[in-house]
Amino acid sequence: MVMATGIAMASACCTCPETAVYLDESKPLEDRVEDALSRMTLEEKVKILHAQSKFSSAGVPRLGIPELWCTDGPHGIRPEVKWDQWDQAGWTNDSCTAFPALTCLAATWSEEMSALYGKSIGEEARFREKDVLLGPGVNIYRTPLNGRNFEYMGEDPYLASKMVVPYIQEVQKNGVATCVKHYALNNQEAHRHSYNAVVDDRALYEIYLPAFKAAVQEGGSWSIMGAYNLFRGEHACHNDLLLNKILKQDWGFDGAVISDWGGTYDTVEAANKGLDLEFGTGTNGLDSKYGNSYDAYHLAIPYQEKLRKGELSEEVLNDKVRRVLRLNFRTAMNSRKPFGSMNSPEHNEAARRIAGEGIVVLKNEDNILPVDLEKTGKILVVGENAIKKMTVGGGSSSLKAKHECVPLDGIREAVGDKAEVVYQRGYLGDLLRSYNSVDTGIDLSDERSDEQLIADAVAEAADADVILFFGGLNKSKGQDCEGRDRSAMALPYAQDKVIEALAEVNPNIVVVIVSGNAVEMPWVDKVDGIMEAWFIGSQAGHAIADVLFGKVNPSGKLPFTFPVKLEDNAAHATGAYDAESHVAEYKEGIFVGYRWAEKQQIKPLFAFGHGLSYTTFEYGEAKCRKAGKGFKVSIDVTNTGDREGKEIVQMYIEDVESSLERPVKELKGFSKISLAPGETKTVTFVIEPDMLKFYDPAQSGWVLEPGDFVAHVGAASDDIRSSVKFAVK
């Protein structure tokens, strides 16, 4: 009897761990999902589809399924925030490593660096016991005014597609999901909650979707974040074409679609058009909020009531629940996760290495760089961005970094007593010192007038052997910051005046731009050196000093075009960007970035793919041969200088003749190689037929037209060293 009862008890007891398939990690994921689903009540199903706090959503306590915890951001793990606030909770053990912004990662053109980045940030997210990392961002750089370009990977879909994959794969090895964002067409911050992106199919499929497709199909991202904006009249967080058709049906995405915080607007829309997990309703994603209790969320009680009345499909509900359970089993319920680590020497070394590989030397006249400390007596450092911390601010990617070495400190440490380092403010910019109650502890106030600041800097300039000017942008609203776009492409504050004044007395100037966006440079011919140093986090000062003084040979190249002036940019030239409008019609179509510059024959200030090294490289003749269904293009590259260096060899494809207009050429391959002095390596690019296709809206698909193509191989989009023709039969 006891036995019978015992067996009866076992089968009746639905939560006994030894009998539950969903808890058995040796079972196939889908079996576990189905088992858990079959045990859940309607209330439990609805409850896991929306937030229960600012950054967490409920599990199923009765079944032992834990909560899911999300965290920003793409560059480091946000400090713990209060249950239902944006402000930090005031923990004392949640300072993080601030890694370089993703424009810098993209500028490394190194999949190895992307993997190192993902591993490092994934370990920090895991250590903080977060299940979903709200990043990386891969929105295409369409206008230099977009406040959030610093969080993304540039203007080219091929580069972004290649650079996003290793980051995702390595983060997820920690049992932490990435949440690639913001899907899709969030290419500006102006009216980000309301603008309707009107984009033709060609631009959608050739420019704006590829990086997300790669993130899903090659990266295997376990979640994706819907954007705030509308696309073709439907909010991206519940958009039938983007979510149900393209993402889930065409691409086979099996993860969860998570709304941006405050990106959900309607229960029926959210239910039927692809949203799986609703967060942040009632906020603008940054600050303002109206009291919207979690049960009032669109996918909470309102959803449950409509389900009860049979107004909405239970099958659709179950699909959402499966996706959230899959996300949970891969993360929160994954008992095999590594432990993670935080602020380790390895992470700081990784931040420094990635930064060193991403810094771009744009100009180096008379070899002013690297600065030779043996021949240098006095270094004058000028500019607010030499002393300003950049990890605080910028919106949701803001951090509480355990370390942040600002440029001036990095320079002083590297120079030691080899030379005199004098600092002058030069200009007064932005006094922001805290964000979400994270304080930099630096008081940047200065009583002097603009004129006095310039005079004081110029007074130190005449007898300096080299002047290092640190300018660019910062993380305050209206600069490189979420929630608003910049109002101009020029450097803000009195920076241009300071640079001109310094150049008057001493041309030995290196201008270091700290930014995540292109800026105008009216003084470009008056200075010898220009460097784009990005926002590079905890190790900024050290990484910049490494390159300035030659410890690291720069190898970064631009992931987006620096136009001479704003009107040279496609969106602005076509009048397709209007910060006041609630419609963003992408009139330029596929002609974004260098695609536009080359079509219009506009010479950029610095071209896509441009970046200098302290050594020189020579390219041989490109050769092309048939290989399987495609081709292989090979070329020898030699280091003809006297020091080791890395070169990013780029391959662009030109379709000589096509039924639809195509760009002059498009990036379809890159390889970063390291060469010792005198060393030659052969770089080989594989050309698959798919890479030669273009999207034809009339056929709603990709087409490959026979005919002649040309592979252009070089050091930059405007520095082609060898070209070779081939024909597709």
Task: Name which position in 134, 165, 468, 724 contacts ligand GLC (CB under 6 A).
Answer: 134
287 is catalytic: no
CA distance 326 to 309: 27
259 near 280, Cβ under 8 Å?
yes
**Least separation in angstroms between CB 59 and ligand GLC:** 20
Look at residues 136, 243, 138 and name the one whose alpha carbon lies nearest to residue 259: 243
Which of 193, 324, 307, 312 is CA-nearest to residue 257?
324
**181 lies in the binding site for ligand GLC (CB under 6 A):** yes
110 contributes a contact to ligand GLC by CB under 6 A: no
Nearest to ligand GLC of 124, 588 (CB atom): 124
- Contact between 149 and ligand GLC by CB under 6 A: the answer reads no
Shortest Cβ distance from residue 196 to ligand GLC (Å)? Answer: 18
Contact present, 503 and 527 (Cβ < 8 Å):
yes
Three-class SS state of 197: strand
Give a three-class secondary structure readout of 508-539: CEEEEEECCCCCCCCCCCCCCEEEECCCCHHH
Report, in Å, the least distance between residue 56 CB and ligand GLC.
Answer: 12
User: Among residues 36 and 215, whose Cβ is nearest to ligand GLC?
Assistant: 215
Burial class (CB in 10 A: 0-12, 13-18, 19+), 660: middle
- One DSSP character per residue, 433-472 reads -EETTEE----------HHHHHHHHHHTTTT-SEEEEEEE
Can residue 714 be called a binding residue for ligand GLC (CB under 6 A)? Answer: no
Nearer to ligand GLC, 212 or 549 (CB): 212
Residue 68 makes contact with ligand GLC by CB under 6 A:
no
In three-state secondary structure terms, 616 is: coil
Closest residue to ligand GLC: CB criterion: 285
131 binds ligand GLC (CB under 6 A): no
**Residue 72 near ligand GLC by CB under 6 A:** yes
Residue 724 belongs to what H/E stretch?
Answer: strand 719-728
CB of 581 vs ligand GLC, minimal distance in Å: 20
Alpha-carbon distance 645 to 676, whole Å? 7
The residue among 158 and 222 lying less far from ligand GLC, judged by its C-beta, is: 222
By the rule CB under 6 A, 286 interacts with ligand GLC: yes
Smaller CB separation from ligand GLC, 94 or 666: 94
Catalytic, out of 72, 131, 156, 260:
260
**Residue 304 Cβ vs ligand GLC, minimum distance, rounded to whole Å:** 25
Q: Is the peptide bond before 182 cis (omega within 30 degrees of 0)?
A: yes
Our CB check for ligand GLC shows the closer of 181 and 330 to be 181
Residue 94 or 568: the one with the smaller Cβ distance to ligand GLC is 94
Q: Is the peptide bond before 73 cis (omega within 30 degrees of 0)?
A: yes
How far apart CA 530 and CA 534 sit, in angstroms, is 12
Q: Is 285 in the site for ligand GLC (CB under 6 A)?
A: yes
- In whole angstroms, the minimum distance from the beta carbon of 69 to ligand GLC comes to 13
User: Which CB, 280 or 604, lies closer to ligand GLC?
Assistant: 280
Count, residues near ligand GLC per rule CB under 6 A = 8
Which structure tokens are listed for 301? 């009680």
Q: Which two tokens stand for residue 183?
A: 């899907």
Question: Contact between 470 and ligand GLC (CB under 6 A)?
Answer: no
Q: How far apart are CA 121 and CA 344, in angstroms?
A: 11
Q: 235 is written with which tokens?
A: 């909010």
195 vs 187: CA distance, rounded Å: 11
- Of 233-272, binders to ligand GLC (CB under 6 A) are 260-261
Residue 654 is a binding residue for ligand GLC (CB under 6 A): no
CB of 188 to ligand GLC, least distance (A): 13
Q: Is 189 in the site for ligand GLC (CB under 6 A)?
A: no
Quick check: 171 binds ligand GLC (CB under 6 A)? no
* CB 473, min distance to ligand GLC, A: 19
By CB under 6 A, residue 576 contacts ligand GLC: no
Which position among 187, 396, 474, 495 is part of the footprint of ligand GLC (CB under 6 A)? 396
DSSP state letter for 18: G
Catalytic residue IDs: 260
Kindly list the residues in this chain that would bind ligand GLC in the complex (CB under 6 A).
72, 134, 181, 260-261, 285-286, 396
